[in-house]
Structure 1
Amino acid sequence: MRGIGVALLFVGALLTATGYGATFLLTEHFRSLGGSEIETGKALAGAMVGTFVGVPLIGWVSARFGGARLAAIGAVLVAAGYLLLAGIASLSSTIVIAGFMVGCGWGMFYLAAPMAVSERVSDLDRGFWFTRFGAFQMAGIGGGPALALFLVDTLGLSTASLFRLLALGCVCAAACLWAFELTTPRPAQPRPGRTGAPRNWVSSIVPLASTRAIYPILMVGVGACVFTGMLTFQSSLARGSGLDASLYFTTYALVVVVARFTLAPAINRADGNRMSVLLLVLMSAGVLVYFAIGYGAPVQVVSGILLGLGYGLVYTVIQTQVVNDAPEAHRNGALTWFAVSYFIGVFGFPAIGGWLIVHWGTQIFLVLVLACALAELALALARNRSRASSAAALNAPRT
């Protein structure tokens, strides 16, 4: 991949991810309509259901239509969801429908865009391109809410007007992604059934479960709970402390983008198995530090830095692991299950988290987020032990 095609892909990823990042402001939008974190949880529960439509759709038709075209369609659906949210004047079941559209669209983009990258690069270069692509994606996810809060708090833009502006950005993203498919043709794809690749991605979980690919599939789900917990409810966590949630978003986004462009070469050269453990320790520390938020903005900044370094860098490490650990015939299935696991965490967890914040408070909520971070760390250690055992058995002398 090179030239204008790469630029189109990265711009499309940035704009679509900015649209997804606006889900972190749903609580503010619903509060303006008389709602709370519970409505945020309902909307994102609808988004989770939407991903169960969008993600399987990609798993079934990606080989025929191409990942970039499907990612473009996903961006259009995200735009439609935000237009629906912008048009509501009171809380109703419409928020679940809008959430469904955003989730279906983001699910399509989230799976199809990496597939579009993966099918155009070699195994050796996959980590490099996933890291670069992920940097632009994370810039939108983390930087989008910071920019949105600036437009709302400083310039006085309503959340409804903001959602309309984001919808326009997602339409532009769709145009970029469609153009990428045209300007950067993918290699000729073998006909289904001649390579042993399963037509139904669902069945791939059986062979994947017996490989190390199952660990990153589980890891991304619990890691997504940490990510969405700290960002979706950042306004709620900062409320009453006198702190600005945009400081956390800005810190996280800057760290992720800078780290992926400056540290990525070292990450790619390092032992990914050990690196994943180190980065997950940093991520867990980022959640732990937030318990001291009463000490002010420095704690918020340190937490954002640690989460940005930990989650922001480990994500591409385990995304590369899930592809390389999976048998070649089941790689698209592995990426599909990886995305399903991610969305269960990123859209399902807020339904639990919003209820906890409203009924039990932010401290109990943070305890649950920390437990998810430690669970992902435990899975990384288990994967490394499995790998070491396999290597030892392979190298054992035969008698």
Structure 2
Amino acid sequence: MPETAEPLPARLPTAAFLPFLIAGVIIAAAYGSSFLLPEYLRTMAFDNTSIGRVISAGMVTTLLCCCLAGWAAQHIGVMGSITAAAVAMAGAMVAFACVPLAPEAAYAGGLLLGVGWSVFYILAPLQIIHHLQPSARLQYFTILSGAQMAGLGLATPLGHLIVQASASYGLFYELAGSACLVSALCLVIAQRAMAQLPKSATRQVSLRLTDLKALLGSQAALPIAMILLGACIFSGLSTYQASYAEGRQLRADNFFITFTLTSVLLRFSVARSIGRLPLQRLAVGLFLFTSLSLGMFLLNRGSTSLYLLATVVFAVGYGLSYSTLNSLAVNQAEANGLSPSVTSQVFTLAYFIGLFGFPSLGGAIMGHWGIDWVLVCLLAAALINLLLIASTHYRRLPSI
């Protein structure tokens, strides 16, 4: 790929970005197929402990590969690593399909699932960073996250449809594995299309302690800390949504369907225009919406209308915060001479830590004080993020 000192473009050619986006939808849908794993494995006589071990295997490799993905990208390239992740995801789907013949294959599937998803999720933004000017990144980050959300949201209903039609979970995972191989082909096509595009001079990609120390001592550490808290908010609200809905005689399915539809439609509809907004002002608005929604969840005593409204407001606030904070972290790091590639990886790692870490804390809070206190903690986290970004924004106002 030609490296250039010239200003990078503001857009990617359709021939390069479209297959990349298709691959993102497929890989996200394959990861979303894990939501069907508990019910599938129960039909295979797995008990809850065994199911938990399969899922935990995926969590372990997710966090481990977040730390190693940069090393792989340093040696075989970003697109080469992402393509390998698609193949690993195909392997995971095949392993799950083989569970009726070899039950131990479920553990291999869990391990490969974590490898495939984490490497793709952490490295895909790097390809955008390398080929686009900073002002254009938010638009493409938003489109990519919308595609991933669409894949995640479609996986469960599509899986249930296939299972009901064929009475076979194995067929669903076989089809998902085939789709992952198609995604690998799409990535090869995208790589060839991007080969002649201008590219920023590649700095350090693999994670090193010296880079991490410099990053955490810079302004980019703030959005990284904020996404950790944001991930806790999303993880807590989604993990304990069934308990919340049950306690208020509501339907948790309404939350998940409404959140997914709103997030996907919002990301695709505003992607082109969102990049024109100042990142810090946008982040202030997003955390205002997130805080407002959590307050609405907390105050709701059983109104379906208020439940749906709170979900829409939450989808607006949280749904755009990941791409906004990612752009803010990467741009601030780059402006201070730090590696944007390393910054994006640390940002994603912080997200996964919050996503996987909070349910344990939330479970303890819920066990002692109930779901309302979980919501209070989530609201506190949202208000902390709001105060952090607001104070940063207003400190910078005189220089704007």
Q: Same fold (TM over 0.5)?
A: yes
The residue number in structure 1 matching 2:34 is 23
Secondary structure at the aligned position of 2:132 is classed as coil
The residue number in structure 2 matching 1:228 is 235
Q: Per-residue deviation at 1:178? A: 2.2
The unaligned stretches of length 5 or more in structure 2 are 1-11
Is the 1:83–1:167 Cα contact (8 Å) retained in structure 2?
Answer: yes
Q: Per-residue deviation at 1:11? A: 0.5
Is 1:51 the counterpart of 2:62? The answer is: yes
Is the 2:134–2:331 Cα contact (8 Å) retained in structure 1?
Answer: yes
Is the 2:98–2:105 Cα contact (8 Å) retained in structure 1?
Answer: no
The residue number in structure 2 matching 1:173 is 183
AA at the equivalent of 1:346 = L
The unaligned stretches of length 5 or more in structure 1 are none
Distance 1:96 1:105 in 2: 14
- Comparing 375-384 with 178-187, which one deviates more in the overlay? 375-384
Q: Per-residue deviation at 1:215? A: 1.6
Within a 5 Å distance, the mapping from 1:1-399 to structure 2 comes to 1-32=12-43, 33=45, 35-36=47-48, 42-88=53-99, 97-152=108-163, 155=165, 157-185=167-195, 187=198, 190=201, 197=204, 200-231=207-238, 246-290=253-297, 295=302, 297-326=304-333, 327-350=336-359, 360=367, 364=370, 367-368=373-374, 371-372=377-378, 374-386=380-392, 388-389=394-395
Distance 2:324 2:21 in 1: 19
Q: Per-residue deviation at 1:290? A: 4.3
The residue number in structure 1 matching 2:9 is none
Secondary structure at the aligned position of 1:329 is classed as coil
Distance 2:359 2:104 in 1: 17
Q: CA RMSD of the aligned region, Å?
A: 3.6
Distance 2:103 2:22 in 1: 34
Residues 165, 323 of structure 1: CA spacing in aligned structure 2 closer, same or farther, 3 A cutoff? same
- Comparing 12-21 with 66-75, which one deviates more in the overlay? 66-75
Distance 2:304 2:88 in 1: 37
Distance 1:373 1:85 in 2: 38
Identity, in percent, stands at: 25
Is the 1:24–1:232 Cα contact (8 Å) retained in structure 2?
Answer: no
Is the 1:14–1:140 Cα contact (8 Å) retained in structure 2?
Answer: yes
Distance 2:56 2:323 in 1: 25
AA at the equivalent of 1:347 = F
Distance 1:242 1:31 in 2: 27
Residues 334, 234 of structure 1: CA spacing in aligned structure 2 closer, same or farther, 3 A cutoff? same
Residues 137, 124 of structure 1: CA spacing in aligned structure 2 closer, same or farther, 3 A cutoff? same
- Comparing 156-165 with 307-316, which one deviates more in the overlay? 156-165
Residues 134-181 of structure 1 show CA distances to partners (whole Å, capped at 9, x for unaligned) of 2111211233334334545x6475544433333332222222122211
Residues 249, 63 of structure 1: CA spacing in aligned structure 2 closer, same or farther, 3 A cutoff? same
The residue number in structure 1 matching 2:8 is none
Q: Per-residue deviation at 1:83? A: 3.1
Residues 211-264 of structure 1 show CA distances to partners (whole Å, capped at 9, x for unaligned) of 221122122223223333444565666569886655433322221122123233
AA at the equivalent of 1:304 = T
Is the 1:138–1:312 Cα contact (8 Å) retained in structure 2?
Answer: no
- Comparing 95-104 with 331-340, which one deviates more in the overlay? 95-104
Distance 2:392 2:93 in 1: 44
Distance 2:243 2:101 in 1: 21
Secondary structure at the aligned position of 2:131 is classed as coil
Residues 66-86 of structure 1 show CA distances to partners (whole Å, capped at 9, x for unaligned) of 322212211222232233334
Q: Per-residue deviation at 1:382? A: 1.8
Is the 1:59–1:336 Cα contact (8 Å) retained in structure 2?
Answer: yes
- Comparing 66-75 with 102-111, which one deviates more in the overlay? 66-75
Q: Per-residue deviation at 1:300? A: 4.8
AA at the equivalent of 1:311 = Y
Secondary structure at the aligned position of 1:306 is classed as helix
When normalised by structure 1's length, the TM-score is 0.81
Is the 2:139–2:273 Cα contact (8 Å) retained in structure 1?
Answer: no
Secondary structure at the aligned position of 2:339 is classed as helix
Distance 1:287 1:26 in 2: 30
AA at the equivalent of 1:5 = A
Residues 20, 374 of structure 1: CA spacing in aligned structure 2 closer, same or farther, 3 A cutoff? farther
Residues 309, 58 of structure 1: CA spacing in aligned structure 2 closer, same or farther, 3 A cutoff? same
Distance 1:219 1:182 in 2: 36
- Comparing 262-271 with 68-77, which one deviates more in the overlay? 262-271
The residue number in structure 1 matching 2:3 is none
Q: Per-residue deviation at 1:104? A: 1.7
